[in-house]
Structure 1
Amino acid sequence: MSKNKTKIKYLKIALRFILLIAIVFIGFFASIYLGLFGKLASEKELADFNQVQASKFIDRNDQTFAKIYELNRESISIDALPQHLLDALIATEDARFYEHSGIDTRSLMRVLFKTILAGDESSGGGSTITLQLAKNLFGRKDYAFLSLPINKTKEAIVAQRIEDAYTKREILELYLNTVPFSGNTYGIESASQKFFNKSAADLQLPEAAILVGTLKANHSYNPRLFPERSQLRRDVVITQMLKYEMISKQEADAVMVESLEIDYSKNTSKNSYYLKEYLVDQTQEILDSINAKDDEDFQLKKDGLIVKTTIDAGIQDILESNLKEHLKKIQSQFESQYASNKPWENPAIWKPELRRSKAYQKLIKNKSEDEVLKELSKKRKTEFYDGEQYQVVTASTIDSIQHHLKFLNAASLSIDPHSGDILAYVGGLDQNLSQYDFIRYAKRQVGSTFKPIVYASALNQGLEPCDYLSAKEISYKNYDNWKPKNASKKDEIDPHLNYSLKSALTQSLNVVSVKVLEEAGIQNTINFAKKLKIKSVIKPEPSMALGAVNMNIKELALAYSGFVADEIPNRLNLIKSISTIDGKVIYEAPKTHHSENPLDEFKRLQMLAMLQNVVKAGTGRAITYTYGLRQAIAGKTGTTQDNKDGWFVGVTPHYINVNWVGHNNQKIGFKTTRLGQGAVSALPIFAKSYAEMINNSEYNAMTRAKFKGLNQNILKSLACEDTKRDGFFKRLFSNKKDEKEFESKKEEEKKKKKFLGIF
């Protein structure tokens, strides 16, 4: 074969190969352009992007207390930004910004030949501000090994559409308001507030250079964690500005001789985090239903919707601040009780938490557990949140897990017992410590807060507040010789002493409460609880008398409404209505239906009086004697086994407030009852908050309201001594045996009738 034919042969092969590559490339590009890998934003959608309106959440008094945006950011107009900030950005990130139309071909060629082929890493990148904006706005998806080329191509197409939809100045504004900075902060205004405690409009040249410098690597150039590294990066930004003649040599020198200084904002907590998250999800569910049913396209984060809620923003603020203040106080006591043998340092507790972490999940794919633990034991500079602010420390991932495990958590829910409206919703202590919403997701044992339900069921079965039951401890043979005891040794009681139901509830006596359940009957009490809107499964066991019942805080709040309201709301309400920005109502909550109260008014008022006595003379007496609250207040404390959970339910004529304090990890509890009991761990949240409401005339109608007066018959039914001691002969001949089978009074009667029926 001649040389010419050989050349022609190889030329044809080369041309075919080039053609094949071209076809593959065109097909690949076309598939992305046509949306086979996900819909691309159109020019119209992009043009409308800057016109999106924040939706507002309105409280019951028509006050805006929260907004929801398309992006989690604080916006600032480009007209308010200093020129040296814009210059710093362009000089460092995209020097030819005003010359290209989204894609800088010259820079891309430089990257191809210098960086990739010649290995010159100092030649810079090929990304533009517009390409970065496309990435910031729409993120990247996982397409396995094709992720990079697909995402880059999508960004290139969108970038060119952005250039068609906006002016260069508008692109800069969008970019600066959406770009992520250090510390998980989005937008230049948020970053400026966080690191310099000032608006971005007031940034000086060195400060602007520091923030722009972090864009290359948010974590590595975090000025709080790595000040030396951040200062060097700041100087690179200044050098770039000098290179492109945006500043003079004198200005550059003046900045670079300065040491790095920041004014880190300690105000990191976002109020009402859990409430906002819950509201967003609830609203979105409603909108999804409307959109599907009516073929609409309402978008919460874009359409400027007005969402009217049942929330009272004033009560919400009061409750949040007092919950945080109280938890701060008992947190130090909680930690000091565990001077040694700290549970959060126990591998049996922290290792399961570590295994759920993203860092562990990422490493375990390619390493053994021993290798992962070794890697996650390495210390580095990081930030620890102490409940108020972030502190820079040198610590490992394991250290971080243990650090967060030591923090207690709390939740508080307030409702109107007559309407079922949620007035305040605090799902946790602090989202920086835990984003887990206790109100929304948790079910915990409710301890002695379940006892009023047992006692109310007993009243329904014919018992009276002045009926007496023995305080003698009993072992129940048919329940593995279970022997309920009172909360502490201080509560050891003369076995020959009998307590009235009123007194037993006031003092929250466990032994007597189990006997009350015997009289009421387990199944009767379960049925009664269901009528109080408790939907959680209740195990038919005598321990339910002590609150060994897993319930949600919302169920507990609704159940207690049965002690105040003539009728019980069938559900709790949060969203009243949703309107468009021009006032058109697109959703109105259905009317709340009520169910008949299983307690008639006579028994309900008896129970309410007994719960008031808890506050006046029982386990909740701190309300009266420590906090000096003399208003119409009833309530019940609760403490679960091993001091894992502390509870307090405050009840007033128009306000019910349920408080829980404990730990997200149920293996960690209070070391002692002295601190863990509901009267100490949870009650102060109600007391301090309600005291603040009392002092605010805005809540006079609520705090000055009185419970319905008691008639003579009810007063007579409550008029008895707390205790009654067995007589001499009963004590002398009393059965010393302290064990029996647990069976209800009605079950005993059935057995007697069956026995008599034989004869």
Structure 2
Amino acid sequence: MWLLFGGGLLAFILYVSAVNVNFMNLFGRMPNLRTLENPKSELASEIYSADGVLLGKYFRENRTPVDYKDLPQNVIDALIATEDVRFEQHSGIDFKGLFAIPYYLLSGRSRGSSTLTQQVAKVLFRTREDLNDGTLNSDGKLGLLITKTKEWLLAIKLERNYTKREILRMYLNTVDYGSNAFGINTAAKTFFNKSPKQLTTPEAATLVGIVNAPSRFSPAAHPVRSKRRRNWVLQQMVRANYLSADEMRRDTTQAIVLHYSVENSAQGLAPYFRTEVAKYLQTWARETDHDLYADGLKIYTTLDSRMQVYAEKAVAEHLALQQKWFSAQWKGQLPWRDENGKVIPNFLATSMRRTQRYKSLMERYDGNRDSVNYYLRHKYRMTVFSWQGEREMLMSPMDSLDYYKRYLRAGFLAVNPLNGYIKAWVGGPNYKFFKFDHVRQGKRQPGSTFKPIVYTAAIDQGYSPCFPRPDVATTFPGEAGRPPYTPHNFEGGYSGRTFTLRQALARSMNSITAWLVYKLGPETVVAYAKRLGITSPIDPVPAVGFGASDCSIYELCGAYGTFVNKGVHTTPIMVTRIEDKNGNELRQFVAQTKEALSEETAYVMTNMLQASTTEPGGTSTILHTGFKFPFQIGAKTGTTSNYSDAWFMGITPDLVCGMWVGGEDRSIHFRTGAYGQGARLALPLYGIFMKKVIADKNISINTQPFPAPAAPLTIELDCSKYYGSMQRDTIPYDQKLTQPSTNDLDDKDI
């Protein structure tokens, strides 16, 4: 017997030693000492606004750790009583509980043998996934024995390296509670919208009860079963003397009241912005060997959470009304039209073929169009977006495509031009339903918002804002296979009267812009666009001055910011710094700058842009006459052919705002400029936003006059003395239109 005992003990020691060193790779890897001292679990990275508001998280496992001091005693008591009642007495392995397993099995009672420390080892080191790569590892009993042995060894080592408090903290910060909630901090927020410290004893017992089987005991999915489990945890707390019998009876009668909300990327402020930040940081993460979704980084951005709230509200308010007008105008008709106003045949079928759903179905059914068409027209119950709130509807994918194609889209960006800090970013109507970002991802023809670049080139080439030019036609001769080109004014004709360049820009007159392009050359205009930060391809064609080439709101805000920032182009930036999970700074970010214009030219352009809001006939005078803004604002409206794109750019001394409104496709638009021009479809969005910002006394923006250069100006700005010989028309060229029809609109909308 002694020989058998000694031999068995020796065999056990040899077996444990072999597992520990992974003898001949039979048992799979074991963590080294460095890994053991720095166990790593996936931590959600957090992204913050400039004013310290948590905007959201990046994660695969939504886990945000808490310190031991922030763990409430009721959670700790419930955990120990339920999972490891002798936690304070053992050193990683509970031999008393281990040898009691046969008794529990014979008596029919359930009991697990893993201590809290072993469970920590299992989760932290993924013993059943990452360390399960030995020759003898399998899904059978031998593989389970090897895995258990590793967990015993790791538990002992953890107990040697960490205090009991540290092990408890690791457990509560790593365990899975279901509903994509990892760790007690996220679980408390997900199920009860509380911090761990705020949890009541019944709530603590509920969360502790989940960890044994998250899908089985979830209070959101199985409330009755979860309540029984919670009451059992409370009974265990009584047995362990953590709770009195009276307290247990009181707590077991309480209902589980949830404030259930699973965090996802579509929730919270600035989802389009956060998505763009993630794209931007992926390159940095790869270069520096970081994982944006697992390293618990702290990302500090330039965004102002208050401005962001106002921007999102302004987009929602403005688009809801514009959508009502749009739907009324196309009621009972198909809005996708060609240049002649005729319905585009097979528009939806063609659009569907460009979707990922169509490509996936074609791949699944080996190109069988009959099968694909069947599923494209099969109706499902789905949740859809509306400006009155989400709705449940029975729709096929083709119905859904038809439904969403009729919705107007928008993009809005606000930037501080002095440092490039992005203050607000709204990429669309609703991120949950419209993922495409119209601030940077989307590029459309900018229309007349491109004209200031032409005028910038003209000022640099010696033209004065007071330079007179008659409103007559300019014809570009045909070349390179192109026919002769004669741009027309917005209303179609020419007045023959003389206007200064300042007046021409204020009224957005195409005839005088065309003449400037003719004199300067399209190549010169393209060169200035590049100097001002337009990175999208621009064709050097006669129509370049009217925004014929696509660009983004992001690019235009950088260009207009150059005027405000004394000729220095500052690339808009999103992130200021990144810290690791311990608060150590990993990197600071600074905007890239370059000298693009002279300070004088930049100031002249800010002055000329103000004419749009102050000159009789200016396209943006409503900012002073309607919105009643008492401070200087530079502005420019933009409208493209067939009213497919409506733009507006607004500048003040420390804020540049750019916005676009239109359909998802260029063929979807309003019928006339009465609804579809920039001054009507885009400008009011700026007014709504600025009204909200100005009303918030906690937001400091500069409403003083634009600062003049220190050196005396060499360019004349006061053109009033030239106006005596010029006839003045107080109606803007792109506003000589009837008012929008009030049919099908409520009185409160008019």
Quickly name the TM-score band, shorter chain normalised.
0.5 to 0.7
Partner of 1:522: 522
d(CA) in 1 for partners of 2:251 and 2:551? 60
Partner of 1:719: 722
* Partner SS for 2:423: strand
Partner of 2:741: none
Is the contact between residue 78 and residue 173 of structure 1 (CA under 8 Å) also seen in structure 2?
yes
Correspondent of 1:234 among 227, 231, 252? 227
Change (3 A) 1:632 1:372: same
Partner of 2:611: 613
- Does structure 1 residue 271 correspond to structure 2 residue 259? no
Moved more, 149-158 or 194-203: 149-158
Matches within 5 A, 1:165-180: 165-167=161-163, 169-179=165-175
d(CA) in 2 for partners of 1:550 and 1:142? 50
Change (3 A) 1:269 1:526: same
Change (3 A) 1:423 1:216: same
Matches within 5 A, 1:702-713: 702-708=702-708, 713=716
d(CA) in 2 for partners of 1:668 and 1:184? 41
d(CA) in 2 for partners of 1:667 and 1:149? 59
- Does structure 1 residue 426 correspond to structure 2 residue 462? no
Is the contact between residue 639 and residue 647 of structure 1 (CA under 8 Å) also seen in structure 2?
yes
Change (3 A) 1:615 1:55: same
Change (3 A) 1:323 1:662: farther
Correspondent of 1:45 among 26, 38, 44? 38
Matches within 5 A, 1:589-668: 594-597=594-597, 601=600, 604-616=602-614, 617-641=617-641, 643=643, 645-661=645-661, 665-666=664-665
Is the contact between residue 55 and residue 301 of structure 1 (CA under 8 Å) also seen in structure 2?
no
Is the contact between residue 454 and residue 516 of structure 1 (CA under 8 Å) also seen in structure 2?
yes
Deviations 1:658-695 (A, max 9, x none): 334457x5468554655554434543454344445556
Change (3 A) 1:209 1:529: same
d(CA) in 2 for partners of 1:401 and 1:136? 43
Partner of 2:468: 466
Aligned-residue offset at 1:566: 4.0
Moved more, 266-275 or 700-709: 266-275
Change (3 A) 1:414 1:585: same
d(CA) in 2 for partners of 1:576 and 1:722? 54
* Partner SS for 2:537: coil
d(CA) in 1 for partners of 2:95 and 2:351? 55
* Partner SS for 1:550: coil
d(CA) in 2 for partners of 1:431 and 1:669? 21
Q: Residue 525 of structure 1 aligns to which amino acid in structure 2?
A: V
d(CA) in 2 for partners of 1:718 and 1:270? 54
d(CA) in 2 for partners of 1:222 and 1:404? 35
Aligned-residue offset at 1:556: 1.8
Is the contact between residue 448 and residue 547 of structure 1 (CA under 8 Å) also seen in structure 2?
yes
Is the contact between residue 447 and residue 547 of structure 2 (CA under 8 Å) also seen in structure 1?
yes
Structure 2 residue ranges without an equivalent (≥5): 1-18, 337-346, 729-750
What TM-score, normalized to structure 2? Answer: 0.66
d(CA) in 1 for partners of 2:379 and 2:367? 15
Partner of 2:199: 203
Q: Residue 702 of structure 2 aligns to which amino acid in structure 1?
A: M
Change (3 A) 1:97 1:585: closer
* Partner SS for 1:619: coil
d(CA) in 1 for partners of 2:366 and 2:81? 41
Deviations 1:304-338 (A, max 9, x none): 98x887x4x6xx23421221111221343354433
Matches within 5 A, 1:474-623: 479=482, 491-493=491-493, 501-510=501-510, 513-569=513-569, 571-572=571-572, 594-597=594-597, 601=600, 604-616=602-614, 617-623=617-623
- Does structure 1 residue 329 correspond to structure 2 residue 317? yes
Is the contact between residue 634 and residue 651 of structure 1 (CA under 8 Å) also seen in structure 2?
yes
d(CA) in 2 for partners of 1:550 and 1:707? 32
Deviations 1:18-74 (A, max 9, x none): xxxx9xx96555553379xxxx9711112x989x99999795xxx655698998545
Is the contact between residue 55 and residue 302 of structure 1 (CA under 8 Å) also seen in structure 2?
no
* Partner SS for 1:328: helix
d(CA) in 2 for partners of 1:620 and 1:204? 57
d(CA) in 1 for partners of 2:633 and 2:98? 72
d(CA) in 2 for partners of 1:655 and 1:202? 41
Aligned-residue offset at 1:538: 0.5
Moved more, 607-616 or 587-596: 587-596
Change (3 A) 1:318 1:126: same
Q: Residue 322 of structure 1 aligns to which amino acid in structure 2?
A: Y
d(CA) in 1 for partners of 2:683 and 2:415? 14
Aligned-residue offset at 1:467: 0.9
Aligned-residue offset at 1:559: 1.9
d(CA) in 2 for partners of 1:308 and 1:205? 36
Change (3 A) 1:608 1:34: closer
d(CA) in 1 for partners of 2:377 and 2:76? 40
Deviations 1:695-750 (A, max 9, x none): 6677778221335397894324883379779xxxxxxxxxxxxxxxxxxxxxxxxx
Aligned-residue offset at 1:286: 6.5
Q: Residue 238 of structure 1 aligns to which amino acid in structure 2?
A: N
Is the contact between residue 56 and residue 64 of structure 1 (CA under 8 Å) also seen in structure 2?
no
d(CA) in 1 for partners of 2:207 and 2:649? 48
Change (3 A) 1:451 1:126: farther
* Partner SS for 2:471: strand
Higher helix fraction (1 or 2): 1
d(CA) in 2 for partners of 1:670 and 1:327? 18
Change (3 A) 1:218 1:520: farther
Is the contact between residue 447 and residue 640 of structure 1 (CA under 8 Å) also seen in structure 2?
yes
* Partner SS for 1:174: helix
Aligned-residue offset at 1:627: 1.6
Is the contact between residue 451 and residue 546 of structure 1 (CA under 8 Å) also seen in structure 2?
yes
d(CA) in 1 for partners of 2:572 and 2:662? 24
Partner of 2:445: 445
Is the contact between residue 127 and residue 147 of structure 2 (CA under 8 Å) also seen in structure 1?
no
* Partner SS for 1:611: helix
Aligned-residue offset at 1:540: 2.4
Correspondent of 1:33 among 30, 36, 57? 30
* Partner SS for 1:714: coil
What TM-score, normalized to structure 1? Answer: 0.66
Is the contact between residue 209 and residue 233 of structure 2 (CA under 8 Å) also seen in structure 1?
no
Change (3 A) 1:706 1:74: same
Moved more, 25-34 or 123-132: 123-132
Change (3 A) 1:394 1:258: farther
Aligned-residue offset at 1:634: 0.6
Change (3 A) 1:501 1:183: farther
Q: Residue 715 of structure 1 aligns to which amino acid in structure 2?
A: D
Change (3 A) 1:327 1:399: farther
* Partner SS for 2:38: helix
Structure 1 residue ranges without an equivalent (≥5): 1-21, 116-121, 726-759
